[in-house]
Amino acid sequence: MNQDLKNDRFLRALRREPTDTTPIWVMRQAGRYLPEYRATRARAGSFMALAQHPELACEVTLQPLERFDLDAAILFSDILTVPDAMGLGLSFAAGEGPQFARPVRNAADIDRLGVPDMEGELRYVTDAVRLIRRELQGRVPLIGFSGSPWTLACYMVEGQGSRDFATLKAMCWNEPALAHRLLDVLARSVAQYLAAQAVAGAQALMIFDTWGGLLGPAPFREFSLRYMAQVVDTLKTNAHARELPVILFSKGAGMHLPTMADTGCAALGVDWTIDLDQARRAVAGKVALQGNLDPAVLRSNPDTIRRETRAVLDSYGNHPGHVFNLGHGITPEVDPEHVKVLVDEVHSYGRTLRMT
């Protein structure tokens, strides 16, 4: 199925097969730190116009691959496309975070929600996937993605970004049945969304659970992990999606890696608050790991970036199953030259590590 791929390091690492060096891609690799991204976004008029225009989304997806020797592309889109397609009215005010015109607050709001039509409201996403696959011409695999049900619910109930998403957390304590109804419709939507991306040509799938780490251990299992597991289970019933590796990334949830590894996913994303060596022992060879350089390191200098990059590679060691990444998304003020230093160091040091 992936025989046409010229570089399959990323998919091999996800299968925990040997590779010549460690593969790398960077969360938010297409974004504001790149002047060419800012130029295309200006042409589009807004972030949402950019995401909803398949030719422009394809253009910005490929931009970081022109500059850096990355081992995977990631669809240019956003996790909040799904709630937008559910009718919540998403906008990004200039210089601010996301905003929903119609947040979800009560039973009536939740009863109105349905699984969006993947070839209707979300057709622009599958169109972008098809176009990017064609333009990539097998250079590297394409990652499709979604937010986790929990993380999407955080934004939908709060109506905007927040430090603690206390409105949804309050609903979990006050009206748990309501929270579960919301999370269930989101899990069904996310599974269909990811399956549609698989059918359109995505070659790996990632679920971003950015706010899973806000929950204590038992609530994490009840409100976040359980619904990611439901998504993974549903994907196994789809003829296309069942072939694809799924990466789960819960930020700030290092202590949950062993239970997350039992969901049937292929890999776990890891942030920088846990050593890869410890994370690798915690998952006991069940899954590959993706991570985990602190993105703030990219604000330092080339020598420090090389040193910290080698420390991450050494921490995982000479074992199969490591995909290098940052522990969270790259930030807008990073110098693109520093990303080149990072990518080249991962490949050159990763190669020497394989020989030890």
Residues within the interface to ligand CP3 (CB under 6 A): 27-32, 41, 47, 74, 76, 78-80, 92, 97-98, 145, 161, 208, 210, 329
Active-site pick, 9, 12, 28, 133: 28
Which residue number is nearest to ligand CP3 in terms of Cβ?
Answer: 210
Task: Name the DSSP letter for residue 326.
Answer: E
CB 319 within 8 A of CB 13: no
- Our answer to whether residue 221 is catalytic in this structure is no
* CB atoms inside a 10 Å sphere around CB 280: 21
Q: Which is nearer to ligand CP3, 19 or 148 (CB)?
A: 148
Q: Which is nearer to ligand CP3, 52 or 349 (CB)?
A: 52
Q: What are phi and psi of 279, to 5 degrees?
A: -65, -40
Active-site pick, 32, 139, 181, 188: 32
Strands 90-92 and 98-100: antiparallel
Q: Which amino acid is at 320?
A: P
- Our answer to whether residue 280 is catalytic in this structure is no
Active-site pick, 9, 71, 133, 155: 155
Q: Which is nearer to ligand CP3, 30 or 346 (CB)?
A: 30
Q: What's the min distance (Å) between Cβ of 355 and ligand CP3? A: 31
Q: What's the min distance (Å) between Cβ of 314 and ligand CP3? A: 26
- Our answer to whether residue 28 is catalytic in this structure is yes
CB 216 within 8 A of CB 233: no
Q: Which is nearer to ligand CP3, 16 or 251 (CB)?
A: 251
Q: What's the min distance (Å) between Cβ of 306 and ligand CP3? A: 23
Task: Name the DSSP letter for residue 45.
Answer: S
H/E run at residue 151 = helix 149-158
- Our answer to whether residue 155 is catalytic in this structure is yes
Active-site pick, 78, 84, 127, 209: 78
Q: What's the min distance (Å) between Cβ of 328 and ligand CP3? A: 6
Q: What's the min distance (Å) between Cβ of 150 and ligand CP3? A: 11
Active-site pick, 12, 41, 133, 280: 41
DSSP string, 126-143: HHHHHHHHHHHTTSS-EE
Task: Name the DSSP letter for residue 148.
Answer: -
- Which residues have a Cβ under 8 Å from the Cβ of 307 and sit 6 or more positions away? none
**Euclidean distance between CA atoms 165 and 183, whole angstroms:** 15
Q: What's the min distance (Å) between Cβ of 32 and ligand CP3? A: 5
Q: Which is nearer to ligand CP3, 57 or 283 (CB)?
A: 57
Q: Which is nearer to ligand CP3, 249 or 349 (CB)?
A: 249
- Our answer to whether residue 41 is catalytic in this structure is yes
Residue that is written with structure tokens 């410890």 in the block:
278
Task: Please name which of 319, 330, 326, 255 lies closest in space to residue 292, comparing C-alpha atoms.
Answer: 326
Q: Please identify every residue annotated as catalytic.
A: 28, 32, 41, 78, 155
